[in-house]
Amino acid sequence: MLSIKNLQAKIDDKQILHGINLEVKAGEIHAIMGPNGSGKSTLASVLAGREEYEVIDGQVEFLGKNLLEMSPEDRAREGVFLAFQYPVEIPGVSTINFMKTALNQIRVHRGQQPLDAVSFLKVMKEKMKLVEMDQSLLNRSLNEGFSGGEKKRNEIFQMAMLEPKLSILDETDSGLDIDALKIVSNGVNKLRNKSNAVIVVTHYQRLLDYIVPDFVHVLYKGKIVKSGTKELALELEAKGYDWIKDELTIA
């Protein structure tokens, strides 16, 4: 589904990604872990198409298409979804109105009929249950005055609405208490199927207790320095990132 080869990117004049290689297949969950400043969020941003980052080398293929040539909205329409680490507050735009526009623009792109108000509400109510979201929250301005947990649940709600093929969860666990973490993880797990894939970007192992990855990759200084199965995450948790750093220094 996703094939990243030698991806290098910079912001301003600072190179952050120094050659990432990653293959993600349908049905898989990949966790990307790493210490602060290793380039985790940059990778998520570059995949979603954030303009501040300039790709200086490498390729990213998504379902056979060149992802890097697409605008952020085209990536979304093709099936890429980024759950933000810091979801943006937008006063005056309600989640419902915005989701209706977004979903219908995506449906038209996919050659489907746009949903009318009644069908939209029906779909919305279903998806709300996934993340135990209250409709009053969705009537309000997008994320405005939402708690940290509500914002993250709103991200997963949007993911459920748009039914992406590849979801990138950027530090979705940050700022969540254990109950919210369970709700969010539960939502992600229910959305999982054979034809979609998830990339979980996280600093800590605890999210991976709930969203269990097939593969774990350690990102350090803009490169994937170690890959393994979910046991790697536990090892990292036990030994800390210094273990990786030391290992690299020795090698």
Partner 1 sequence: MLNERNVTSEIAGLIEKSLASDASVPELRREAFNTFQRLGIPDTKSEEYKDTPISRLLQKNFTFQSSPIQANITPGDFRVPYLDGNVIVFINGVFSEEHSTIVSPKTEVLISPLKKALLENPLVLQHLGHYADFSKDALSAWNTAAWNEGVFIHIKNNQVVEKPITIYHVHNATDSEWVSVNRNLIISGSNSKSTIIEKYDSIGSHNHFSNIVTEAVVLENSELNFYSIQNDSGNRYQYNLTQFHQANFSRVNTFTFTLGGKLVRNSLQLALDGEGIESHMFGLYLLANDTLADNHTVVDHRKANSFSNELYKGIMDGNSKGVFNGKIYVRPHAQKTNAFQANRNILLTDKATVNTKPQLEIWADDVKCSHGCTTGQLDEEAMFYLQTRGLTKDTARAMMLYAFAGEILDNVKNNELKTYLDQLVSERLHKNSWL
By CB under 8 A, name the binding residues for partner 1.
48-51, 71-73, 75-77, 81-82, 84, 87-88, 90-93, 98-99, 101-103, 105-106, 109, 141, 158, 162
**CB-wise, 104 or 227, nearer to partner 1?**
104
Q: Could you tell me whether strands 29-33 and 215-220 are parallel, antiparallel, or unpaired per DSSP bridges?
A: parallel
Other CB atoms within a 10 A radius of the CB of residue 167 amount to: 26
Q: Please, what is the minimum distance in Å from the beta carbon of residue 92 to partner 1?
A: 3
**CB-wise, 160 or 218, nearer to partner 1?**
160
d(CA 177, CA 89): 21
Q: Please, what is the minimum distance in Å from the beta carbon of residue 89 to partner 1?
A: 8
One-letter amino acid at 225 equals V
What contacts 147, CB < 8 A, 6 or more positions away? none
**CB-wise, 34 or 87, nearer to partner 1?**
87
**CB-wise, 56 or 90, nearer to partner 1?**
90
Q: Please, what is the minimum distance in Å from the beta carbon of residue 105 to partner 1?
A: 5
d(CA 54, CA 10): 5
Give phi and psi for 229, each to the nearest 5: -100, -170
- Tell me the C-alpha to C-alpha distance, in Å, between residue 214 and each of 21, 65, 148, 173: 17, 24, 28, 18
Q: Please, what is the minimum distance in Å from the beta carbon of residue 121 to partner 1?
A: 17
3-state class (DSSP) for residue 55: strand
Q: Please, what is the minimum distance in Å from the beta carbon of residue 124 to partner 1?
A: 14
**CB-wise, 114 or 228, nearer to partner 1?**
114
d(CA 46, CA 23): 16
Q: Please, what is the minimum distance in Å from the beta carbon of residue 139 to partner 1?
A: 14
Instruction: Quote the radius of gyration of the chain (alpha carbons, Å).
Output: 18
Other CB atoms within a 10 A radius of the CB of residue 156 amount to: 26
**CB-wise, 93 or 225, nearer to partner 1?**
93
